[in-house]
Structure 1
Amino acid sequence: MTLGALRPSPLVEQATQHLRDQITGGDWPVGTKIPGETTLAKTLGVGRSTVREALRALAGAGLVQARQGAGVFVVATEPQEDWAGQLRRSAVTDAYEVRMLIEVEAAQLAAERRTDADLTALHAALDRRRAAATGSDAEFVDADIALHHAVVAAAHNPVLTALFGEFVPVLRQRLIDLVELLDLRSADPNHGDAGHAALVDAVATGNAAAAGHALREELQQTLTRLQSL
């Protein structure tokens, strides 16, 4: 593969793709030192700042690494998949197991850190979940997720909140399918109300152990159903 001059726009994206092709195509194997910015800029017909941005993008993808005083080297021939991508490809049961780990810890922290505003939000979310019992399965699942989000938010840890947010789009449709497939709401439209009420009560009373237990029990029941499909 031979490098060639680029068209005017978008330069950074084009430069990144050309350099990526050199790596993934085998022209620059792992361990190869990439030509310097000046050489690449001249070869590609762009400015050094464009080359610098392209190399930064490749480093973000895990393909190259700058070594102080030595230059930029190829460290991988396949880009690293981001967290969201891994979640989308994962088995639903694997994702749910990790969700359990995150939410149980979040529930325990919520019991220790919740504010009056958090308690108001939690009770409102529980009420909305109960009201959604008369709606569609999708509406019920969305209300259920909103209650879980309120619990995670009450932990006041932005990393936990962000992680939970990554799981929602991956699990939402699977949960709707599960409710429909197993007909979980035919006998009890407000399926799982007792467990969620116990969770909210445990957070409200500051009982971290009870909050973690209530959430673990509720999520484990769902995981068991998912594993049986």
Structure 2
Amino acid sequence: MSSPTTIPQAPRRSLVESTIDLIRAQVESGAWKVGSKIPNEQELADMLNVGRNTVREAIRVLSHAQVLEVRQGDGTYVRTNVDAAETMRRIGRSSLREHYELRAMLEAEAARLAATHRSEADVAFLRELLSRRGERRDHVAREDFVDADIEFHGAIARMSGNAALAELYRYFAGSVRVYMSEALDEGDLPNPGLDVHAIIIDAIERRDGDAAAAAARAVATPVIAALSMERAKPSKG
């Protein structure tokens, strides 16, 4: 009789990680407001039932993330209630459907603004990028197709005239790459082609913001619909 298969156990979360989560929760909930001074190390250690070294390391990590600010000789203050790295990790744990819904929102608004701010050179550049993207079958490597698609949509975000939106999309692009690759692995999911992407460019060229936004949403709509239907299916068993 063969011995049972064993797998490594998941590592337990460290006290520092747990302490970081507890402190972050106080900040995100508004219990410790932006600009306010948080309890000192000893008070936090007593509150959380951990050692001062654990608290000190947790504060160091959150200070590096710019959530907290340590003022020597004064104390530690809340700098922001948003941890950008943690936010992206949470986005990374979202479902494929949720990802495409968020992507549709960003790309629709980027296309709407690009229609207002675009130049003739911008339109020509988008057509060149779309030609490089082509269809999935035009690329031997899946990664090349994904990169070309991200470059096309990223260019629209950069043409929006909104630096914050463009930067957010650039930051979001890493998640886009992972989720798009996952979608391509799902053989039964729609794969929007050149024709629907060309409609976005045509609307941007006409400076029709509403049409550009609608066209950008239309790229993701079939995938979102398919994923919503998949989610609605009753589980087996």
- Structure 2: how far apart are the matches of 1:184 and 1:213? 21
2:127 match: 123
- Structure 2: how far apart are the matches of 1:24 and 1:57? 8
- Structure 1: how far apart are the matches of 2:129 and 2:114? 15
**Which residues in structure 2 correspond to 1:195-210 (within 5 Å)?**
195-210=196-211
1:212 match: 213
Amino acid aligned to 1:122? L
2:155 match: 150
Query: Against the structure 1 CA distance between its residues 175 and 160, is the aligned structure 2 distance closer, same or farther, given a 3 Å change threshold?
Result: same
Structure 1 gap ranges (5+): 1-19, 36-42, 45-50
For the 8 Å contact 2:20–2:62, the answer to whether it is kept is no
2:49 match: none
- Structure 1: how far apart are the matches of 2:192 and 2:138? 11
Amino acid aligned to 2:175? V
Give the superposition deviation at 1:128: 0.9
For the 8 Å contact 2:157–2:166, the answer to whether it is kept is yes
The structure number with the bigger radius of gyration is 1
Amino acid aligned to 1:222? V
1:48 match: none
Q: Secondary structure at the match of 1:94?
A: helix
Structure 2 gap ranges (5+): 1-15, 27-37, 43-51, 231-237
2:6 match: none
2:91 match: 87
For the 8 Å contact 2:135–2:193, the answer to whether it is kept is no
1:11 match: none
What TM-score comes out, normalization by structure 1 length? 0.63
State the aligned residue count. Answer: 186
Amino acid aligned to 1:195? V
Give the superposition deviation at 1:160: 1.3
The one of 158, 179, 182 equivalent to 1:174 is 179
The one of 22, 31, 39 equivalent to 1:32 is 39
For the 8 Å contact 1:32–1:73, the answer to whether it is kept is no
Q: Secondary structure at the match of 2:134?
A: helix
Give the superposition deviation at 1:101: 1.4
Give the superposition deviation at 1:66: 6.6
Query: Against the structure 1 CA distance between its residues 132 and 222, is the aligned structure 2 distance closer, same or farther, given a 3 Å change threshold?
Result: closer
- Structure 2: how far apart are the matches of 1:112 and 1:200? 12
**Matched-pair identity in %:** 29
For the 8 Å contact 2:107–2:157, the answer to whether it is kept is yes
Query: Against the structure 1 CA distance between its residues 73 and 123, is the aligned structure 2 distance closer, same or farther, given a 3 Å change threshold?
Result: closer
Query: Against the structure 1 CA distance between its residues 140 and 74, is the aligned structure 2 distance closer, same or farther, given a 3 Å change threshold?
Result: closer
CA deviations over 1:99-135 (Å, ceiling 9, x no partner) = 2211111100000001233222201111112276422
What TM-score comes out, normalization by structure 2 length? 0.61
Amino acid aligned to 2:117? R
